[in-house]
């Protein structure tokens, strides 16, 4: 069985699955149970400055987008950072770390954007023996109104400044958690790098109104007739998170910066996808909040099995493996031609491909009177919509047209040579092929 | 309790009240809200959906299921009722396994169709529970139409005519409306007086006067109806029963399955319904299955359902046959009755084994006897009391695709009319379509 031991910015954990800073990691009781269940590490729920702790709402904190059978697809929350006393948290962290030396414990922090505030808390964290800190520059609700969380993460200069203070007053790794509520994720990542961050973690939650109560005429979760935007996470945000991860991984400025991937990771496959896009490890929250800590066991067994099948002996074998294949649209090969092909043996005649193609695409699927569906290659642009709406996996596939054959749609031969937009005759700025 | 399943002869109270109640409870429990959402989610919303094509009333099944999945079962029910005003009953009694669910693409792909029937019941029950009649009548046309028979065909026809602004006088031979829904189907398919509730709800549209105890030949003539009304629709069903045509048919203990079912359906207390220790049902349709299964559920010790051809030829679906065997009914295929004879205090039925060669039924020469306290005949119903003026085709009133009979101004539909299967849903379609045709000619 593959060895899942992962070393991320010098911190070793038995597997790459950490619990993200969130309600599951708010206290000793939970974290001990998480470790017993098999989690490789936790990022302790964000601590704030010494003094009276923050308070939370006393009405509902969460809202959800449900899929079939009330499956949680997206989760939104308006909970703030820990509302427990700083010293109680610090004591618990120290105790748990002492009992679980092989597991990673990272302490998430959010204090005002003043050097004194960081200077005050960092030695306290250092004393716990935790393995590192994560700077919460991401939470988009509540704390951002007070100049913290995403309010910092949206200003690269602040990120750089605070990261630098942390590197100055703290000896262990500093991970900067980024907010996705920005235009270009590469800017805050580069700022963290300039400030000396050991790694970035992303994404934090996305600003969101998850649903509206049409009787109360208020966003949900509704607190006494009012609602506010919350932070969105869960499987629904995975595509957004993976793009941001890949942008950082492939940007020349930030390439090589360690990334801890976060965003809707629910299964081993999700984790593997984040890792091949450049993450050294991953963090999970919604899956645990939906199914409990035990979900990590599937992640561990699934990733191990896949690694064995692929011959990977260590997670570092495949981390970042897909990054070279993430490119800009302009470099995609326009000479690569495929056509949809429907397996009549697998087709169940639902006609969804026909409805989708006929009504919204290229009228390239033909329907006979006895409900046989076929592809008209002279109209098919290979958009893949039929493949995706077909309820039967692999019933419709894209067949690569061999070089030398003729594309029935354009009447032109399929050529073997790569030809992208940068060299295309329709592109006014094209560079002539050599 | 005085009796048991082994009490000889014909007896009531073979089972105790709770056991009977359990036996005659809903065959398929209604879906809960959550179950309905899960079941609805399985629908693929097919293009030009096969289920819709298979439905004799062409209900837009993908649409009504989608309306359930978005939390609007009332809108879903309107989609159903706009095509089939007896959608509530059809959800319970339709042989969906040979109609919509048989062609569901998920049946084809996985052998597990979307539960269309149960979803239809969920939607229609939801709206009917609100007591709301979802349709309004058009402005009065000043026309009045006579509808004979308050079964599925007559009710569907009357409702559609009323909706279109006509007044309707509905004549029913019995003392209750509903036709076979009330008198002819197994009790566990329509529990808690659903058939009557449905009739009452349907009549809520207004404009329909229901007269009981009147039938053609019993207070009514086609001529007088033609003279008194702007159009006539006949949905009188099949009131006759085929004879066994074998010796001993007249003996006490031999009776019609339809009568047994009707009596059972009308019984105030199932403990009072008598059934034999040994019951033999002869026939191969839904009536045969309903009689056999209900005999067993009443506490008969041995129930044999004997059909003269093979399993595949039986008009009761394979699902119904399996239901019967799961309730303990023994189905004997390829045997026909030769003679019913007295045997002590009971009867003995002699059967000849048969085989079917090139569609022809022949006897093999072998035979067997079954002891019987009761013998139920369920070998088909026949048209009785049809007006002489009407052309008859294959024992049924001849109608064209619009339900028009050979006599101008007279339409017919349901089991009494030619064409289509003898199903509730087919009768509804025929009644509805005849109404539309009547409307277009007035």
Give ipTM to 2 decimals: 0.82
Do residue B328 and residue B270 come from a single domain?
Answer: yes
For B109, which residue in chain A has the nearest alpha carbon?
A348
Q: What is the CATH number of the domain that holds B107?
A: 1.10.1060.10
When CB atoms are compared, the residue of B38, B41, B44 closest to A350 is: B44
Is the pLDDT at A142 greater than 90? The verdict is no
List the alpha helices (DSSP H) in B15-166. 17-23, 33-41, 50-54, 61-69, 73-83, 87-93, 100-103, 105-110, 116-129, 152-163
For B69, which residue in chain A has the nearest alpha carbon?
A68
CB of A351 within 8 Å of a chain B CB? The answer is yes
Residue B291 makes CB contacts below 8 A (sequence gap 6+) with B257, B260, B261, B281, B376, B378
CATH 3.30.70.20 domain position(s) in chain A: 330-423
Is the pLDDT at A101 greater than 90? The verdict is yes
pLDDT score, position A140: 82
CB of A215 within 8 Å of a chain B CB? The answer is no
pTM for the full model?
Answer: 0.89
Q: How far is CA B377 from CA A124, B32, B264, B313, in A?
A: 92, 39, 16, 18
Q: Which residues pair with A397 in a beta bridge?
A: A341
For B49, which residue in chain A has the nearest alpha carbon?
A350
* Inter-chain residue contact A349 with B105, CB threshold 8 Å: yes
Q: How far apart are CA A373 and CA B34, in angstroms?
A: 34
Please state which of the four CATH numbers 3.20.20.80, 3.30.70.20, 3.40.50.620, 3.30.465.10 is assigned to the domain occupying A330-423.
3.30.70.20
How confident is the model over A17-68, as pLDDT tens digits?
Answer: 999 999 999 999 999 999 999 999 999 999 999 999 999 999 999 999 999 8
pLDDT score, position A188: 98
For A369, which residue in chain B has the nearest alpha carbon?
B48
Do residue B356 and residue B432 come from a single domain?
Answer: no
Decide: B94 and B119 in contact? Cβ < 8 Å: no
Average pLDDT of chain A, as a whole number: 96
Domain that holds residue B69: 33-129
Which helix (H) or strand (E) segment is B316 a member of?
none
* Inter-chain residue contact B48 with A350, CB threshold 8 Å: no
For B108, which residue in chain A has the nearest alpha carbon?
A348
Q: How far apart are CA B304 and CA B280, in angstroms?
A: 5
Cis geometry, peptide bond prior to residue B290 (ω within 30 degrees of 0): no
* Inter-chain residue contact A350 with B105, CB threshold 8 Å: yes
Do residue B372 and residue B250 come from a single domain?
Answer: yes
Do residue B357 and residue B387 come from a single domain?
Answer: no
Is the pLDDT at A430 greater than 90? The verdict is no
How confident is the model over A229-243, as pLDDT tens digits?
Answer: 999 999 999 999 999
Decide: A381 and A398 in contact? Cβ < 8 Å: no
Do residue B191 and residue B212 come from a single domain?
Answer: yes
Neighbours of A328 (CB within 10 A): 10
- Tell me if B1 is assigned to some domain: no
Residues of chain A found within 8 Å of residue B41, distances taken between Cβ atoms: 68-69
Q: How many domains does chain B have?
A: 3
pLDDT tens digits in sequence order for chain B, 442 residues long? 579 999 999 999 999 999 999 999 999 999 999 999 999 999 999 999 999 999 999 999 999 999 999 999 999 999 999 999 999 999 999 999 999 999 999 998 899 999 999 999 999 999 999 988 999 999 999 999 999 999 999 999 999 999 999 999 999 999 999 999 999 999 999 999 999 999 999 999 999 999 999 999 888 999 999 999 999 999 999 999 999 999 999 999 999 999 999 999 999 999 999 999 999 999 999 999 999 999 999 999 999 999 999 999 999 999 999 999 999 999 999 999 999 999 999 999 999 999 998 889 999 999 999 999 999 999 999 999 899 999 999 999 999 999 999 999 999 999 999 998 889 999 999 999 999 999 999 9
* Inter-chain residue contact B106 with A70, CB threshold 8 Å: no
Do residue B420 and residue B333 come from a single domain?
Answer: no
* Inter-chain residue contact A351 with B47, CB threshold 8 Å: yes
Decide: A94 and A112 in contact? Cβ < 8 Å: no
Whether A139 is catalytic is yes
Give how far A351 is from chain B: nearest CA, Å: 5
Interstrand relation of B302-306 and B278-283 (parallel, antiparallel or unpaired): parallel
Residues of chain B found within 8 Å of residue A347, distances taken between Cβ atoms: none
How confident is the model over A4-17, as pLDDT tens digits?
Answer: 999 999 999 999 99
Give how far A352 is from chain B: nearest CA, Å: 6
Residues of chain B found within 8 Å of residue A69, distances taken between Cβ atoms: 37-38, 41
- Tell me if B139 is assigned to some domain: no
Q: For residue A313, name the pLDDT band (cuts at 50, 70, 90).
A: very high
Do residue B330 and residue B203 come from a single domain?
Answer: no
Do residue B359 and residue B280 come from a single domain?
Answer: yes
Residue A169, both tokens: 């007053």
DSSP assignments along A190-243, one per residue: HHHHHTT-SEEEE--PEEE--EEETTTTEEES-BTTB---EEEESGGGHHHHHH
- Tell me if B134 is assigned to some domain: no
CATH 3.20.20.70 domain position(s) in chain A: 6-325
pLDDT score, position A144: 85
* Inter-chain residue contact B47 with A68, CB threshold 8 Å: no
pLDDT score, position B358: 87
Size of interface A-B (CB pairs under 8 A): 35
Interface test with B, best of A70, A211, A347, A350 (most B CBs within 10 A): A350
DSSP assignments along A32-78, one per residue: HHHHHHT-SEEEEEEE--SSSPP---SS--EEEEE-GGG-EEEEEE-
For A357, which residue in chain B has the nearest alpha carbon?
B47
Give how far B111 is from chain A: nearest CA, Å: 12
Decide: A43 and A173 in contact? Cβ < 8 Å: no
* Inter-chain residue contact A348 with B49, CB threshold 8 Å: no
Give how far B1 is from chain A: nearest CA, Å: 47
When CB atoms are compared, the residue of A70, A348, A354 closest to B108 is: A348
Dihedral (Cα; B316, B321, B327, B329), 10-degree rounding: 90
Is the pLDDT at A433 greater than 60? The verdict is no
CB of A209 within 8 Å of a chain B CB? The answer is no
Q: List residues in chain B touching A: CB distance below 8 A.
A: 34, 37-38, 41, 44-50, 105-106, 108-109
Q: How far apart are CA A104 and CA B80, in angstroms?
A: 59
* Inter-chain residue contact B106 with A348, CB threshold 8 Å: yes
Give how far B67 is from chain A: nearest CA, Å: 15
Looking from the CA of B244 toward its CB, the CA atoms found within 13 Å total 28
Neighbours of A320 (CB within 10 A): 19
Domain A6-325 matching CATH 3.20.20.70: the answer reads: yes
Do residue B259 and residue B370 come from a single domain?
Answer: yes
Phi first, then psi: give them for residue A40, nearest 5 degrees. -75, -25
- Tell me if B188 is assigned to some domain: yes
Q: What is the CATH number of the domain that holds B343?
A: 3.50.50.60
Order across the sheet with B302-306: list the strands.
B254-256, B374-378, B278-283, B302-306, B330-332
Q: How far apart are CA A314 and CA A335, in angstroms?
A: 37
pLDDT score, position A143: 84
């Amino acid at each position: 069985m593959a060895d899942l031991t992962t070393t991320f910015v010098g911190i070793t954990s038995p597997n790459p699955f950490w619990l993200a800073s969130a309600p599951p990691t708010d206290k000793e009781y939970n974290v001990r149970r998480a470790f017993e269940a098999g989690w490789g590490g936790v990022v302790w729920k964000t601590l704030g400055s010494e003094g009276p702790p923050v308070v939370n709402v006393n009405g509902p904190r969460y809202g959800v987008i449900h899929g079939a059978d009330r499956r949680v697809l997206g989760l939104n929350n308006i909970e703030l950072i820990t509302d427990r006393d700083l010293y109680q948290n610090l004591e618990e962290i120290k105790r748990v770390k002492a009992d679980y030396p092989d597991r990673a414990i990272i302490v998430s922090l959010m204090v005002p954007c003043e050097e004194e505030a960081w200077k005050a808390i960092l030695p306290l964290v250092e004393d716990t023996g935790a393995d590192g800190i994560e700077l919460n520059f991401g939470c988009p609700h509540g704390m951002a109104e007070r100049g913290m969380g995403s309010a910092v993460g949206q200003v690269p200069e602040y990120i750089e400044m605070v990261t630098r203070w942390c590197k100055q007053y703290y000896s262990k790794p500093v991970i900067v958690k980024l907010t996705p509520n920005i235009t270009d994720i590469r800017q805050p990542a580069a700022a963290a790098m300039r400030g000396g961050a050991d790694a970035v973690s992303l994404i934090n939650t996305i600003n969101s109104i998850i649903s509206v109560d049409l009787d109360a005429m208020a966003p949900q979760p509704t607190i006494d007739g009012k609602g506010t935007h919350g932070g969105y996470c869960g499987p629904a945000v995975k595509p957004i998170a993976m793009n941001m991860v890949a942008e950082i991984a492939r940007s020349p400025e930030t390439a090589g910066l360690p990334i801890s991937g976060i965003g809707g990771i629910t299964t081993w496959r999700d984790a593997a996808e984040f890792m091949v896009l450049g993450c050294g490890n991953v963090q999970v929250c919604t899956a645990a909040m939906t199914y409990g800590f035990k979900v990590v066991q599937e992640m561990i067994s699934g990733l191990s099995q896949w690694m064995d099948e692929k011959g990977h002996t260590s997670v570092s074998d495949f981390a970042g493996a897909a990054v070279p294949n993430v490119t800009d649209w302009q470099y995609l090969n326009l000479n690569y031609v495929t056509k949809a092909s429907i397996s009549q043996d697998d087709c169940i005649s639902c006609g969804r491909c026909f409805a989708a193609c006929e009504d919204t695409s290229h009228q390239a699927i033909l329907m006979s009177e006895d409900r046989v569906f076929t592809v008209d290659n002279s109209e098919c642009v290979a958009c893949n919509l039929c493949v995706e709406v077909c309820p039967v996996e692999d019933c419709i596939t894209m067949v690569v047209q061999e070089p030398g054959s003729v594309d029935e749609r354009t009447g032109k031969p399929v050529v073997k040579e790569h030809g992208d937009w940068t060299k295309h005759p329709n592109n006014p700025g094209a560079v002539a092929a050599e | 309790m005085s009796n048991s399943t082994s009490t000889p002869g014909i007896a009531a109270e073979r089972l105790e009240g709770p056991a009977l109640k359990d036996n005659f409870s809903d065959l398929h429990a209604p879906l809960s809200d959550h179950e309905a959402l899960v079941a609805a989610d399985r629908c693929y919303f097919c293009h030009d959906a096969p289920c819709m094509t298979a439905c004799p009333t062409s209900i837009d099944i993908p649409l009504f299921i989608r309306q359930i999945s978005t939390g609007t079962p009332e809108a879903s029910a309107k989609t159903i009722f706009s095509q089939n005003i007896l959608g509530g009953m059809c959800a319970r009694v339709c042989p969906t396994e040979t109609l919509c669910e048989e062609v569901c693409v998920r049946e084809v792909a996985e052998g597990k169709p979307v539960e269309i029937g149960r979803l239809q019941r969920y939607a229609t029950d939801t709206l009917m529970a609100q007591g709301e009649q979802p349709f309004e009548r058009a402005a009065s046309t000043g026309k009045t139409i006579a509808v004979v028979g308050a079964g599925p065909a007559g009710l569907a026809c009357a409702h559609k005519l009323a909706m279109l602004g006509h007044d309707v006088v509905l004549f029913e031979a019995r003392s209750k409306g509903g036709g076979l829904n009330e008198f002819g189907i197994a009790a566990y398919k329509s529990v808690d007086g659903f058939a009557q509730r449905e009739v009452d709800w349907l009549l809520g549209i207004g404009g329909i006067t229901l007269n009981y105890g009147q039938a053609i030949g019993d207070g009514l003539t086609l001529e007088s109806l033609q003279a008194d009304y702007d159009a006539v629709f006949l949905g009188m069903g099949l009131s006759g029963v085929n004879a066994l045509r074998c010796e001993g048919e007249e003996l006490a203990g031999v009776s019609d399955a339809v009568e047994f079912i009707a009596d059972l359906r009308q019984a105030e207390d199932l403990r009072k319904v008598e059934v034999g220790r040994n019951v033999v049902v002869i026939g191969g349709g839904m009536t045969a299955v309903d009689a056999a299964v209900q005999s067993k559920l009443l506490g008969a010790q041995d129930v044999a359902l004997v059909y003269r051809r093979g399993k595949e030829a039986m008009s009761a679906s394979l699902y119904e046959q399996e239901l019967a065997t799961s309730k303990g009914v023994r189905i004997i295929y390829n045997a026909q009755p030769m003679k019913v004879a007295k045997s002590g205090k009971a009867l003995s039925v002699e059967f000849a084994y048969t085989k079917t060669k090139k569609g022809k039924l022949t006897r093999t020469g072998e035979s067997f006897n079954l002891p019987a306290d009761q013998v139920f005949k369920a070998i088909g119903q026949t048209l009785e009391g049809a007006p002489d003026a009407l052309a008859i085709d294959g024992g049924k009133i001849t109608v064209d695709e619009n339900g028009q009979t050979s006599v101008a101004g007279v339409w017919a539909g349901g089991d009494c009319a030619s064409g289509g299967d003898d199903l509730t849903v087919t009768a509804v379609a025929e009644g509805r379509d005849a109404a539309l045709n009547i409307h277009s000619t007035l």
